[in-house]
Amino acid sequence: MDQIHYRACTICEAMCGLQIEVKDGFIAGFKGDPEDKFSRGHICPKGPELKSLYQDPDRIKFPIKRTESGWEPVSWQEAFSDIATQIIKIQEQYGNDSVAVYNGNPNVHNYGSMLFGQRFASRLKTKNNFSATSVDQLPHQLLSYLMFGHQLLIPIPDIDHTDFFLILGGNPFASNGSLMSVPDVKKRLKAIQERGGKYIVVDPRKTETASHADEHIFIRPGTDAYFLFAIVNVLFERKMVQKNDLISEADLDEIRNWASEYSPKKVEKITGISSENIERIAEEFANAKTAVCYGRVGVSTQEFGAICQWLINVINIITGNLDKRGGAMFTLPAVDLVGPGSAMRSSPGSFNAYQSRVRKLPEFSEELPVAALAEEILTPGEGKIRALFTSAGNPVLSTPNGTKLDLALSGLDFMVCVDFYLNETTKHANYILPPTSALEHDHYDLIFNVFAVRNTTRYSQPLFDPEPGMLHDWEIFSDLTKRLELVRAGKPLPKEIIRTKLTPASIIDHALKTGPYGPKGKLGGEMSLDLLKNSPHGVDLGPLQSCFPERLCTEDQKIRLVPLKLKEDFPRLSLKFKEWESFTEGHSNFLLIGRRHLRSNNSWMHNLPKLMTGKPRCTLMIHPEDASRLGIADDEKVIVESSAGSVLISAEVTKELMKGVVSIPHGFGHNRTGTNQKVATEFSGVSINDLTDDQSIDVFSGNAAFSGIKVSIKKQNL
Ligand SMILES: Nc1nc2c(c(=O)[nH]1)N[C@H]1C(S)=C(S)[C@@H](COP(=O)(O)OP(=O)(O)OC[C@H]3O[C@@H](n4cnc5c(=O)[nH]c(N)nc54)[C@H](O)[C@@H]3O)O[C@H]1N2
Ligand SMILES: Nc1nc2c(c(=O)[nH]1)N[C@H]1C(S)=C(S)[C@@H](COP(=O)(O)OP(=O)(O)OC[C@H]3O[C@@H](n4cnc5c(=O)[nH]c(N)nc54)[C@H](O)[C@@H]3O)O[C@H]1N2
Ligand code: SF4
Ligand SMILES: [Mo]
């Protein structure tokens, strides 16, 4: 039967609407849905590859178990029962914390996995919860918690209305936007220029986004906090700070004091940005009708990631651009995870309520920094991690010091992975429990509607029925949760798979009806799952609206402009400044940064042949002057060495990079043995996270610091 199927793409945060033509049960055409209310026909090369993922011969569909003679099929029931039994046995012997959990990025693109995976993890009652948050956006969530009272009350650039957009450490042309869900970002950035506004990119690399910007400014990696402080300094010096009922004058005075330490003149040598440029940008920002400052992965994942996100919020607030059209705004999604009284309200957050065992790194929202995972497995003593669950993650390639984690995982007593690939992480598992792929299950964007540049909502139905006997992520977690409870209670385990009445869709239906746009919601609309089922192109709920103080979650509904705890971190910033002053990029010393490519998605889409065509992607980018000083030619193999390890990689000589800086994309390194991703192995590349160090973190937040890793470079044949 022929049909046209509409659904949202689940790969990145842009949530593009897809239009899929099906003939006789096969996909005959794949394009962006021109009628989609949010993405307006936009699509990138990865979207159509959901089909290749569905058809990938290396995709695992049924559970497998590692035995002495290799991987063997096993029934779901047998796997589930054995897992529940082993886990409880380990916890009874060594305590609840001896079992750890790691949740990877695709969980947030999979509402079933999120809803039921979290329930499962909470039943394990372990403090050793880790996720990709602490190699990514942890500082954003932490600062939203500390300043606005809720970790998901995240300021989103109002890209469609702003006149001045200052972007630090984000490359939306490649990433399609992050903590700014924005399909067709190119068009929307161009529209800023067409309406007479401008956008500036501050980045150690002249990226695709920077090349189209009105201005690109190189910055030395890891020094953004000084640049941002200097902007604040100018705003105060030139009396361009706006007061506001939601902030206290005492806080403003305090910020002025702290900022006085970082004049543009003082930071220019360290940041590589001239004082004239800093002063001009501050002036332009303050004088623009509307303006927004936004910093993403490049600034979140550095030694002062939290201070950077704080300063970004401060700049938006004190120039009067927070919660204002054209500035940094907040969403009001159909499923509200923030508002008090919402059926789906998530935890506002918590910070430093407990610490990791070995390095005493702080908890955030009941999670510990993943940079501590390897040492928590490897360090003997009470509380050592002995078993690990991973779900939709590949931490061997995605977290700092992957080599160390690789070694640690090989020594675990027990490991279970919910994933459909046998990759660098899952190869260590005792059981791999594979879920269905995106086209085989329904979908609702629980998270990315919270970060979108417009309020929109959409529900996607499954396109294909899974093969008989396959399970969705949520079904896997649902059964495991129940079995865990039964074993704990000493009850017998059933032979069949345990089904629950509750489904992800039923949970969302309730949340939609009681949410802001539902019949019981404050706007009194018609929102429900049925409405969305009949709206295949999504429902537009309008542009972002001002919502403070009502939506502020602090007790007194004021902004905590200077969060108490953060102040403890300022002396560290001063100390580091002194270190920078004596730092010279020596003959072969460089600062390493990462990069993303439109056709890659973290570590997991390298097995899809169509995405791997074109020039080799996993190269070391280096500036021509640096290359010639070291006698390195384009394409030549070089050895890159850091405190954590070394890799051999081809050089790509390019003026895109700032002098003294080199770049390697993350997510590669598919050359390890024991995996089964044939295409990925062919294009293996090396892992940048064999160079990044688990000791290099933002010690305040615990987030990994990937930007500006010190490395040395030499020719292979020296
Ligand atoms: N195609 C594609 N899209 C993706 C992904 C992907 O892997 N591929 N991943 C998705 C995920 S999980 C995320 S979190 C988002 C991330 O989305 P973005 O944050 O937009 O991602 P990047 O392209 O890594 O951009 C980071 C930029 O920071 C710069 N940078 C590095 N160090 C510094 C520094 O010290 N200071 C400054 N100012 N800049 C620095 C880098 O040069 C780079 O241009 O993308 C998502 N979308
Ligand atoms: N050096 C450096 N390292 C980085 C970054 C960087 O910029 N530089 N970026 C960091 C960022 S922002 C992120 S988010 C992390 C990502 O880190 P991770 O989430 O650990 O890694 P991914 O590569 O996204 O791996 C996703 C895994 O999920 C599986 N998968 C995909 N879809 C599903 C699904 O629906 N269900 C299940 N169960 N499994 C699924 C894939 O097969 C794959 O094994 O990497 C981080 N690492
Ligand atoms: S931009 Fe992101 S959501 Fe849109 S098609 Fe590409 S991968 Fe999918
Ligand atoms: Mo991410």
Task: Provide the pLDDT for residue 588.
Answer: 77
3-state secondary structure of 10: coil
Calculate Rg over the CA atoms of the chain: 25
pLDDT at 688 over 90: yes
pLDDT at 612 over 80: yes
Task: Provide the pLDDT for residue 522.
Answer: 74
- The mean pLDDT value for 546-550 works out to 97
Task: State the CB neighbour count (10 A cutoff) for residue 472.
Answer: 21
Task: Provide the pLDDT for residue 1.
Answer: 59
* Number of the ligand 3 atom closest to the C-alpha atom of 43: 5
pLDDT band at residue 603 using 50, 70 and 90 as cut-offs: very high
Task: Provide the pLDDT for residue 352.
Answer: 98
Tell me the C-alpha distance between 372 and 400, whole Å: 10
Side-chain-facing half-sphere of 694: CA atoms under 13 Å: 23
Protein residue with its CA nearest to atom 47 in ligand 1: 175
Q: What is the DSSP letter of 471?
A: B
Strands 3-8 and 17-23: antiparallel
For residue 400, how far is its CA from the centre of ligand 4 (angstroms)? 14
Q: Helical H runs in 582-670?
A: 624-629
Q: What is the side-by-side strand order in the sheet with 17-23?
A: 3-8, 17-23, 26-32
Three-state helix/strand/coil letters over 212-223: CCCEEECCCCCC
- The mean pLDDT value for 508-518 works out to 95
Q: Which amino acid is at 56?
A: D
Mean pLDDT, all residues of the chain? 97
Task: State the CB neighbour count (10 A cutoff) for residue 36.
Answer: 25
Task: Provide the pLDDT for residue 453.
Answer: 98
CB 601 within 8 A of CB 44: no
- Residue 128, judged by CB atoms within 10 A of its CB (0-12, 13-18, 19+), counts as buried
Architecture of the CATH domain 138-332+551-567: 3-Layer(aba) Sandwich (3.40)
- The mean pLDDT value for 681-685 works out to 97
Tell me the C-alpha distance between 677 and 681, whole Å: 6
Q: Compute CA distances 441 → 379, 434, 446, 472, whole Å.
A: 40, 13, 15, 7
Phi-psi map region of 94: left, alpha, beta (phi>0 left; psi -120 to 50 alpha): alpha
* Number of the ligand 3 atom closest to the C-alpha atom of 32: 5
Tell me the C-alpha distance between 402 and 414, whole Å: 19
pLDDT at 173 over 80: yes
3-state secondary structure of 546: coil
pLDDT at 23 over 70: yes
- The mean pLDDT value for 687-701 works out to 98
User: CATH assignment of 68-136+341-542, given 3.30.110.30, 3.40.190.10, 3.40.50.300, 3.40.50.740?
Assistant: 3.40.50.740
* Number of the ligand 2 atom closest to the C-alpha atom of 667: 23
Q: What is the DSSP letter of 447?
A: T
- The answer to whether the CB of 135 is under 6 A from ligand 2 is yes
Task: Provide the pLDDT for residue 667.
Answer: 98
Residues 444-480 have pLDDT tens digits of: 999 999 999 999 999 999 999 999 999 999 999 999 9
Residues 621-638 have pLDDT tens digits of: 999 999 999 999 999 999
Protein residue with its CA nearest to atom 39 in ligand 2: 392
Task: Provide the pLDDT for residue 586.
Answer: 64
Phi, psi of 93 (to 5 degrees): -75, -40
User: Which class is 583-715 in CATH?
Assistant: mainly beta
- The answer to whether the CB of 88 is under 6 A from ligand 2 is no
- Residues near ligand 1 (Cβ within 6 A): 12-13, 105, 136, 168-172, 174-176, 178, 202-205, 207, 219, 221-222, 224, 296-299, 302, 593-596, 598, 600-602, 707-708
- The mean pLDDT value for 195-199 works out to 98
- Domain boundary assignment for the chain: 3-55, 68-136+341-542, 138-332+551-567, 583-715
pLDDT band at residue 587 using 50, 70 and 90 as cut-offs: confident
For residue 375, how far is its CA from the centre of ligand 2 (angstroms)? 21
Task: Provide the pLDDT for residue 583.
Answer: 81
Residues 320-373 have pLDDT tens digits of: 999 999 999 999 999 999 998 898 999 999 999 999 999 999 999 999 999 999
For residue 109, how far is its CA from the centre of ligand 4 (angstroms)? 11
Residues 363-419 have pLDDT tens digits of: 999 999 999 999 999 999 999 999 999 999 999 999 999 999 999 999 999 999 999
pLDDT at 2 over 80: no
Protein residue with its CA nearest to atom 18 in ligand 1: 170
pLDDT at 221 over 90: yes
Question: Which ligand has an atom closest to residue 31 CA?
Answer: 3
The distance between the two most distant Cα atoms of the chain, rounded to a whole number of Å, is 73
pLDDT band at residue 518 using 50, 70 and 90 as cut-offs: very high
Residues 91-148 have pLDDT tens digits of: 999 999 999 999 999 999 999 999 999 999 999 999 999 999 999 999 999 999 999 9
Percent of the chain past pLDDT 90, that is, above it, reads: 96
* Number of the ligand 2 atom closest to the C-alpha atom of 603: 23
Query: Domain 3-55: which topology?
Result: Phosphorylase Kinase; domain 1 (3.30.200)
- The mean pLDDT value for 563-589 works out to 89
- Of 279, 332, 295, nearest to 450 by C-alpha is 332
Best mutation site among 208, 297, 301, 590 for ligand 1, i.e. most ligand atoms within 8 A of its Cβ?
Answer: 297
Residues 250-306 have pLDDT tens digits of: 999 999 999 999 999 999 999 999 999 999 999 999 999 999 999 999 999 999 999
